[in-house]
Amino acid sequence: MKPSFNFDQVIDRRTTESEKWQFYGPDVLPLWIADMDFAAPPAVIQALMARVAHGVFGYPCELPEIHQAIVDWCAERYQWHITPDDIILIPGVITGFNLAAHAVAAPDGAILYQTPAYPPFLCVAENANIKEQVVELSRAEDGSYYVDETKFTESISSNSRMFLLCNPQNPTGRVFEKNELEKMAEICLRNNLIICSDEIHGDLIYSGHHHIPIASLDKEIAQNTITLFAPSKTFNIAGLEASIAVIQNPDLRQRFRQSGKGLLGWVNLMGLTAMLAAYREGKPWLEALLHYLEDNRDYLYEYIQNELPEIKMVKPQGTYLAWLDCRHAGLKQNPHKFFLQKAHVALNDGEKFGPGGSGFVRLNFGCPRVILQEALERMKNALREIR
Ligand SMILES: Cc1ncc(COP(=O)(O)O)c(C=O)c1O
């Protein structure tokens, strides 16, 4: 019999140091920052409880089992064959791409990324005191996003050192296909750009789509790539701060390590415990989660089509984030502010995602269906007022 997990359960997070639930007032429903309102897999909770019950919280060591669990996860889910030595554990993916920028682009290089982009991408160049190069993803008539090869190539210059890729793409929910990844990788190789690929949403993919780690495409690309991912989005354990860098090229790995020396803390004990349990025992929970999220995505899509037709949405292929085009909704103000003030629903402000983000909001549907329903009702009522 298949195990059942209750994703419909509403868990109060207003008193648990939750950024998502405590940033705005108690009258606001938060569907913004990217964590989910579900409890972590029972296997993870049990492993953490056993660790707490032990009662001693000294410095941890990275057991070989953890590296092996990551190797097995990549092989089983993505037919991506890495070795334990390729892995560096880091406290966060944001830390990872900032370290990568310091390691490969500083002091006089530039980094390239595509927009609309996950907002911390917009600070990487400034953090590393280097230049940034931004290329907007192209948008088809139907609102879907794609990579224009010519535009991508033209955005590269002689001082470009690193391409910061996001796949699956936050906020658009695109899961890039093999040919798109091959094109981007080929252009990077031709122009001597290291690829830093943020694949944190890689396990959250819907029917008909497949996540392909760009480094799995071939050996030459693998040697040119830093891949970042984590169990944090997948198993909803982002607060435990345990993430992964896979770097198959030993020189690049050394440069990455070197850039964090003396500055970078260890991954904490609870994060290690949770990561091991998640990768070893979390699969049935993840399969159930993906069904629930896909139903949420479809519910959201239908609701928007039928009840909020002035907003345009393309179904995300992965992630639990929906990118809503409000440019023709007649709001006369920033849509984030509109929904916050008039509907008491907190969404992410598209303005913060760089060029191509203005007039959009990002909605996080990683929550029990009743919360999504309530938020949509509120949004509908707010829009009705101005129709
Ligand atoms: C694309 C992307 N990268 C990185 C992160 C954050 O990663 P971490 O919490 O491991 O730093 C997020 C969180 O929303 C994200 O969406």
Which secondary structure element, helix H or strand E, spans residue 364, and what is its range? strand 360-364
Residue 118 CA, closest ligand 1 atom number: 1
Alpha-carbon distance 244 to 280, whole Å? 16
Q: Helices then strands (H, E): number in the chain?
A: 13, 15
Locate 334 and state its tokens. Answer: 């920033």
pLDDT at 266: 86
- Final residue before a domain boundary, out of 281, 316, 334: 281
Locate 346 and state its tokens. Answer: 């907190």
The three-point CA angle 49-3-39 to 5° equals 40
pLDDT at 301: 98
Same domain? 273 vs 375: no
Alpha-carbon distance 145 to 310, whole Å? 20
Which DSSP state fits 67?
Answer: H
Same domain? 376 vs 272: no
Same domain? 62 vs 78: yes
Residue nearest atom 13 in ligand 1 by C-alpha distance? 34
Ligand 1 centroid, distance to 97 Cα (angstroms): 10
- Final residue before a domain boundary, out of 255, 281, 307: 281
Could you tell me where the DSSP H helices lie in 120-177? 124-128, 149-154
Does residue 35 form part of some domain? yes
pLDDT at 1: 63
Ligand 1 centroid, distance to 240 Cα (angstroms): 13
Does residue 7 form part of some domain? no
Same domain? 276 vs 194: yes
Give residues with Cβ within 8 angstroms of 266, minimum separation 6. Answer: 59, 60, 89, 91
- Tell me how crowded residue 36 is: count the other CB atoms within 10 A of its CB: 23
Alpha-carbon distance 87 to 244, whole Å? 7
Output phi, psi for 233, to 5 deg.
-75, -45
For the chain, the domain total comes to: 2
Query: To 10 degrees, the CA torsion angle through 251, 255, 261, 265?
Result: -90
Q: Are strands 160-166 and 194-198 parallel, antiparallel or unpaired?
A: parallel
For residue 267 and ligand 1, the question of a CB distance below 6 A is answered with no
Q: Check if the beta carbon of residue 360 is closer than 8 Å to that of residue 116.
A: yes
For residue 86 and ligand 1, the question of a CB distance below 6 A is answered with no
Taking only Cα atoms into account, the Rg of the chain, rounded to an integer number of angstroms, comes to 21
Specify the residue for token string 């929970």.
285
Residue nearest atom 9 in ligand 1 by C-alpha distance? 92
Q: Domain limits at 267? A: 46-281
296, 302, 306: which is closest to 365 by C-alpha? 296
Residue 30: asked if its preceding bond is cis (omega within 30°), the reply is no
> Coil, strand or helix: which one is 252?
helix
How big is the chain, counted in residues?
Answer: 387
Tell me which of 20, 35, 93 to substitute to probe ligand 1's pocket, judged by most ligand atoms within 8 Å of the beta carbon: 93
Does residue 1 form part of some domain? no
Does residue 103 form part of some domain? yes
Does residue 10 form part of some domain? no
Region of 55 on the Ramachandran plot (φ > 0 left; ψ -120 to 50 alpha; else beta):
left
Ligand 1 centroid, distance to 200 Cα (angstroms): 6
Taking only the tens place, the pLDDT of each residue in 108-162 is: 999 999 999 999 999 999 999 999 999 999 999 999 999 999 999 999 999 999 9
296: CATH: 3.90.1150.10
Taking only the tens place, the pLDDT of each residue in 367-380 is: 999 999 999 999 99
Burial zone of 186 (CB within 10 Å; 0-12 exposed, 13-18 middle, 19+ buried):
middle
Tell me which of 118, 165, 268 to substitute to probe ligand 1's pocket, judged by most ligand atoms within 8 Å of the beta carbon: 118
Regions of the chain with pLDDT less than 50 = none
Give residues with Cβ within 8 angstroms of 31, minimum separation 6. Answer: 345, 346, 347, 363, 364, 365, 367, 371, 372, 375
For residue 34 and ligand 1, the question of a CB distance below 6 A is answered with yes
Residue nearest atom 14 in ligand 1 by C-alpha distance? 34
Q: Which residues pair with 136 in a beta bridge?
A: 115
Locate 262 and state its tokens. Answer: 């003396």
User: How far is CA 381 from its chain centroid?
Assistant: 30
Q: Check if the beta carbon of residue 245 is closer than 8 Å to that of residue 87.
A: yes
Does residue 228 form part of some domain? yes
Same domain? 264 vs 327: no
Does residue 95 form part of some domain? yes
Same domain? 213 vs 354: no
Same domain? 263 vs 203: yes
Alpha-carbon distance 128 to 294, whole Å? 38
- Final residue before a domain boundary, out of 266, 281, 296: 281
Specify the residue for token string 């709001």.
331
Q: Check if the beta carbon of residue 211 is closer than 8 Å to that of residue 174.
A: no
Alpha-carbon distance 373 to 46, whole Å? 31
Same domain? 27 vs 57: no
Alpha-carbon distance 336 to 303, whole Å? 19
Same domain? 23 vs 90: no
Same domain? 252 vs 324: no
Same domain? 271 vs 239: yes
Same domain? 191 vs 287: no
pLDDT at 313: 98
